[in-house]
Structure 1
Amino acid sequence: MIRGLLLVAALGGATASDDAKDLAKALLGRTPGKPETCVSPSRVGAPQVIGDHTLLYRDGSRMWRNDLPDGCPGLDDDAIVVTEVYGGQLCRNDQFYTLERTGSTIPGPRCRLGSFVPWDKRR
Structure 2
Amino acid sequence: MRLPILILASALIASPVIAQDRVAASEAELARIVEGRTMGKPVDCINLRDIRSSEIVPNIGIVYRMNNGTLMVNRPAGGTIADRDDILVTRTIGTRLCRIDIVTLVDRNSQMFSGSLSLDDFVPYSRLPRKVN
Q: Same fold (TM over 0.5)?
A: yes
What is the aligned-residue identity percentage?
26
Q: How far does the alpha carbon of each residue in 1:9-60 deviate from its partner, in whole angstroms, 9 at most, with x for none?
A: xxxxxx4343122101111011111111111112113321112331100113
- RMSD value, Cα: 1.6
- SS of the residue corresponding to residue 126 of structure 2 reads strand
The structural deviation recorded for 1:72 is: 2.2
The structural deviation recorded for 1:78 is: 1.2
Task: Give the counterpart letter for 2:73 in structure 1.
Answer: R
The structural deviation recorded for 1:70 is: 2.3
Higher relative contact order (CA 8 A, sep 6+): 1
Structure of larger gyration radius: 2
Q: Distance in 1 between matches of 2:42 and 2:23?
A: 25
The structural deviation recorded for 1:71 is: 4.9
Q: Distance in 1 between matches of 2:104 and 2:73?
A: 18
Are 1:53 and 1:69, in contact at CA under 8 Å, matched by a contact in 2? no
Give the number of the structure whose residues are more often strand, by fraction.
1
Give the number of the structure whose residues are more often helix, by fraction.
2
Instruction: Name stretches of at least 5 consecutive residues in structure 1 with no aligned partner.
Output: 1-14
1:86 corresponding residue in structure 2:
93
Q: Distance in 2 between matches of 1:35 and 1:97?
A: 23
Are 1:70 and 1:111, in contact at CA under 8 Å, matched by a contact in 2? yes
- SS of the residue corresponding to residue 95 of structure 2 reads coil
Q: Distance in 1 between matches of 2:122 and 2:70?
A: 12
Could you state the TM-score of these two structures normalised by the residue count of structure 2? 0.72
Q: Distance in 1 between matches of 2:103 and 2:79?
A: 12
**Count of matched residue pairs:** 107
Are 1:121 and 2:127 an aligned pair? yes
